[in-house]
Amino acid sequence: MGADLVQLAQAASFDFCDSLIRYSRILTTEVKIGDVPMGGSHPIRIQSMTTTDTLDTMGTVGQAIRMAEAGCDYIRITAPSIKEAQNLSEIKKELHKRGYNIPLIADIHFTPNAAELAARIVEKVRINPGNYADKKNFKEIDFSHDSYDAELERIRRKFIPLVRICKEYGTAMRIGTNHGSLSDRIMSYYGDTPRGMVESAMEFIRICVAENYHNLVISMKSSNATVMVQAYRLLVHTMNQEGLHFPLHLGVTEAGDGEDGRIKSALGIGTLLEDGLGDTVRVSLTEEPEFEAPVAMALVSRYTRRGEKLKFDLSSNVPDISLLPTKKGVLGYPVSPFEYLRRQTTDLEFIGGMHVPRVFADLSKAGEMRDPAILNNFGYHYSPILDKYHIDDIAADFIYFGASIPAFQLPGGLHGVYDLLTWQKLTGESKINSSPLISIEEYYNLRQHPGELIEEPIFKNRNFLHVLAGEVDDRLLDLLKNDSHTVIILESIDEKVMPVFRQLYFRLVQRDMMNPVVLKKYYPGFSKDDYLLTATADLGSLFLDGFGDGIWLDNMPAAFGILQASRTRISKTEYISCPSCGRTLFDLQEVTQLIRSQTSHLKGVKIAIMGCIVNGPGEMADADYGYVGAGPGKITLYKGRVVMRKNVDSDEAVGELIEIIKEDGNWIEAGESFGL
């Protein structure tokens, strides 16, 4: 699959977007959804989904109004059966009675008859091709071409009635593929891949087009932001090849709650918005739905404020990426946008090569450093009684001390970074475990006049060169090409960070340069939420594409969160929790916090918390363990996609989940995750 995708990327150039360095939103087909059309030149729309029981008319209406007041353009409501689909009419009447004509979307899984009824009532229906007319029994099936085509024909016959009803009533449709609910047929033929996600949707899209029905919106959701981004890019490329340009609904499904949920959402959605993709956004948080809209609006506003051309702190003679040749001489994208391939770099003592991306922190303005407690906020907790450090799972790898020299010994595993002349004063072990940070002026001086600034031969060890993006020119790149001991600390002061860094990375790839690169950006004055969303969209997208050997932010936990969400460095437990809806069988927010409180020390373990079987073993995708609502007061527990305990009383389910983790050998007691 990897080689095929590389060839596909070369053939496709970068036709999944208009430009890689200038924001340009892709022009898609206009889709009519009530009085709020989507796509074309219309604004990027915001939506969310109710969490109330759909049969609770007044509760659903009240929540829908709160969502509309929070900024939603559309309201999605689950319709798991005929009776809920029928009640959509009452909900719509009550909303109109109160002066809200906001378009409603019926969310359908498994039940074509409910979809066909809902399509006569609401402005849009969402169907999942993995479970609407296809099958999901977690079975491997050996399909021949004939048997595969026969199954497609069965699906076509089952799906066409809905298509024709939507045509008759002017109802829009979202074909929403989910990574975790691909059918057995798709899984057997394409595997659990972005390609399988795309083909799952394209089969249904082609049926609609054959019926001359084009009022379509498409989505490719996953709880894994890397898979989600690759699937959307591949979808756009595939649609382009067939002359189709349907609008895109963006979302990272089961993103979770709090900071983690915001970072994961910003990573997937922000990366695609940077590429110019996306016509509507839903942020899926395990929180009240009215809290989702402001997060989505904050992400979208970054791009609605932009002009057609970005202003860079780059010299005007830097070529557009589209003119940079790949290694095979093809003009276009120098790496595959459809799979993760990390840029190859030199291993320079703890950074680069196969090392996970490193996290940097700054103590250069702290003044005199006599007390080791100054390192507490950076993950190193000193015990005077034991004369030892306890090291968090989230602890800085490098700390920049500037011109200051700590009066205490640094803990093992922590590397100090100092200004060049300060570093020269260090002696013994302090110097061995440290590196100089060199300015660009010092770098040119050292290369042109060795021995004048400092006496020792500095280019035989690991060094850090700090440069602003605008200072990178051909002269500097020529010097660095022949300098195998220097790590580039690349900082941008430009508001549009990702395209600037992306262009510079591609120039390094073009020149076959292997210097490790650390991405640096500060965000002074940002609120907590704006910080998380902005930093993640700016820098996280680069890690998704395989760029970045380190990250340097003025918020160290956010740096670790970005690396965790991009799956490039795992430092804590990951929770995949759905945002709740009318199908949910327990209080998702309460249970998520309960499970988090007892398992948050299990570094690297992925736990899915799903409200019902629809978001159960399929939707939790690549989780290690699953906690899934099976009925009122009943929970089914999973290891991967294998049922371990069925219909456990909810009062006992968390304890049973912990027992499963213990039986599997992945449990440690809290505190054991600390190193010394």
Q: What is the pLDDT of residue 323?
A: 40
Kindly state whether residues 84 and 152 are assigned to the same domain: yes
In a domain, 324, yes or no: no
* CA Rg value for the chain: 26
Residue-level pLDDT at 453: 65
- DSSP letters, 43-99, are PPEEEEE--S-TT-HHHHHHHHHHHHHHT-SEEEEE--SHHHHHHHHHHHHHHHHTT
Q: Which of 396, 314, 219, 291 is nearest to 63 (CA)?
A: 291
Helical ranges in 465-612 per DSSP H:
474-481, 497-510, 528-535, 541-544, 556-565, 588-599
Whether residues 607 and 507 share a domain: the answer is: no
Distance CA 40, CA 232 (A): 18
Does 138 share its domain with 200? yes
Are both 257 and 109 inside the same structural domain?
A: yes
- Burial degree of 258 (CB within 10 A; 0-12, 13-18, 19+): middle
CA dihedral of residues 570, 572, 576, 578 (deg, nearest 10): -130
656 and 531 in a common domain: no
Q: Name which of 81, 180, 78, 173 is nearest 136 in CA terms.
A: 180
Question: Percent of the chain scored above 90 by pLDDT?
Answer: 57
14 assigned to some structural domain: no
In three-state form (DSSP H/G/I as H, E/B as E, the rest C), the secondary structure along 133-163 is: CCCCCCCCCCCCHHHHHHHHHHHHHHHHHHH
Residues 240-278: tens digit of each pLDDT: 999 999 999 999 987 677 788 899 999 999 999 998 999
The amino acid at residue 528 is K
Which tokens in the block code for residue 143?
A: 């399909």
Residue 462 lies in a domain: yes
Query: Does residue 674 lie in a domain region?
Result: no
Domain assignment present for residue 226? The answer is yes
Placement of tokens 């981004």 in the chain = 229
Residue 493 sits in a domain whose CATH number is: 3.20.20
Low-confidence ranges of the chain (pLDDT < 70): 1-14, 135-140, 255, 305-335, 451-459, 578-585, 612-621, 671-676
Q: Single out the residue in 530, 565, 600 at which a domain terminates.
A: 565
Regarding whether 585 and 551 lie in a shared domain, the answer is no
CA 8, 12, 18, 21 dihedral sign is: positive
In a domain, 24, yes or no: no
* CATH number of the domain encompassing residue 112: 3.20.20.20
pLDDT, tens only, 523-579: 999 999 999 999 999 999 999 999 999 999 999 999 999 999 999 998 888 887 766
Specify the DSSP class assigned to residue 538. Answer: I
Q: What is the extent of the structural domain holding 613? A: 574-663
Pair 257, 376 in one domain: no
Q: Indicate whether 378 belongs to any domain.
A: yes
For residue 307, how many other CB atoms are within 10 A of its CB? 8
Domain count, the chain: 3
Q: Is residue 669 part of a domain?
A: no
Q: Does 174 share its domain with 257?
A: yes
Residues 346 and 431 in one domain: yes
Give the pLDDT score at 475.
94
Q: Please, are residues 486 and 463 in contact by the beta-carbon 8 Å criterion?
A: yes
Residue 59 and residue 99 in one domain: yes
Structure tokens at 345: 């770099």
Whether residue 159 is found in the same domain as residue 225 = yes
Of 565, 584, 617, at which residue does a domain stop?
565
Last residue in a domain, options 258, 287, 304:
304
CATH assignment of the domain containing 611: 3.30.413.10
Same domain for 161 and 37: yes
